[in-house]
Copies of this chain bind each other. A is one copy, B any other.
Amino acid sequence: MLDRESSSYQHLLAQTALFADVPPVALDQLTVGAYRRATVTGEYLFHQDDAAHRYCVVLSGKFRLVQHSAEGKDVTMAVFVLGDVIGLVVALTNDPYPGSVEALDAGEVLLLPGAPLWPVMNDCGLLAVRVLRLIAGRLKETQNRVRELSVERVQQRIARALLRLSQKVGVKEADGSIRLALTLGRQDLAQLTGTTLETVSRTIAAWERDGMLDAGREQITIRKLDEITAIAQELPI
């Protein structure tokens, strides 16, 4: 029974991009002490500055990494969906978590101990390369956000956030529009773009009048992806 459980964990891991094609022996080592955990909306998986010994893989639901600032304003650093890995870096370095991870809806994660990662990466170059690529990619993304926040206007940043989300959680509808399949309030968009909910509200309302998207309560559907792309890339003037 424990065997069945454990082997099912390995199966789950093998389905993720990070651990696909990693030898079963390695997956055995990684899943020792692993367990599933279900979460409800608003629940915190990790808390900022907690010590990090575990990382996790998203099995279902959506999550976000939030940094709390001293002024009480929160900043959303990333959104995680099925197959994404959360807290890998800090589990490897044993640093405290750089932010809190909050469940955006009911979901489930597979929690894994960080310690076995090192020996497994030593034996399995494939995994080592993937881990490094993952972190490198996240660093690059974060640097891009620094550039955007430094030189771009709010409109552009909101457009970019919508595009990013459409790639992450976009669902193509029958009429060709793209629904962002997560509960996304105006406040959430504001935290993603470093602005206020009022400004987001006005911007989204204007775009809805132009027919570029449909906006509902905590819900957005993109109608004209190309126009939003244009705004994201538009020169400021």
Say whether A75 faces chain B, with CB atoms less than 8 Å apart: yes
B136 near A142: Cβ-Cβ < 8 Å: no
Say whether A77 faces chain B, with CB atoms less than 8 Å apart: yes
Q: Which of B71, B139, B151 contacts A89 (CB 8 A)?
A: B139
Say whether A149 faces chain B, with CB atoms less than 8 Å apart: yes
A145 to B67, CA, bound (A): 11
Q: Which of B69, B142, B146 contacts A151 (CB 8 A)?
A: B69
A67 near B139: Cβ-Cβ < 8 Å: no
Say whether A95 faces chain B, with CB atoms less than 8 Å apart: yes
Say whether A93 faces chain B, with CB atoms less than 8 Å apart: yes
Say whether A45 faces chain B, with CB atoms less than 8 Å apart: no
Say whether A35 faces chain B, with CB atoms less than 8 Å apart: no
Say whether A172 faces chain B, with CB atoms less than 8 Å apart: no
A interface, over-half SS? helix
> A93-B132, A150-B194 are contacts. A235–B71 as well, Cβ < 8 Å?
yes
B146 near A145: Cβ-Cβ < 8 Å: yes
A149 near B151: Cβ-Cβ < 8 Å: no
A236 to B145, CA, bound (A): 22
B236 near A71: Cβ-Cβ < 8 Å: yes
- Listed residue (A99, A194, A235, A236) with the most chain B CB atoms within 10 angstroms of its CB: A194
A98: B residues at CB distance < 8 A:
140, 143
A95 near B142: Cβ-Cβ < 8 Å: no
A147: B residues at CB distance < 8 A:
67, 69, 75, 77
Say whether A135 faces chain B, with CB atoms less than 8 Å apart: yes
A145 to B73, CA, bound (A): 14
Say whether A182 faces chain B, with CB atoms less than 8 Å apart: no
Chain B, Cβ-Cβ closest to A195:
B150
> A125-B118, A138-B139 are contacts. A194–B151 as well, Cβ < 8 Å?
yes
Chain B, Cβ-Cβ closest to A146:
B145
**8 A-B residue pairings within 8 Å (CB atoms):** A67-B147, A69-B151, A69-B152, A71-B151, A71-B235, A75-B146, A77-B143, A93-B129
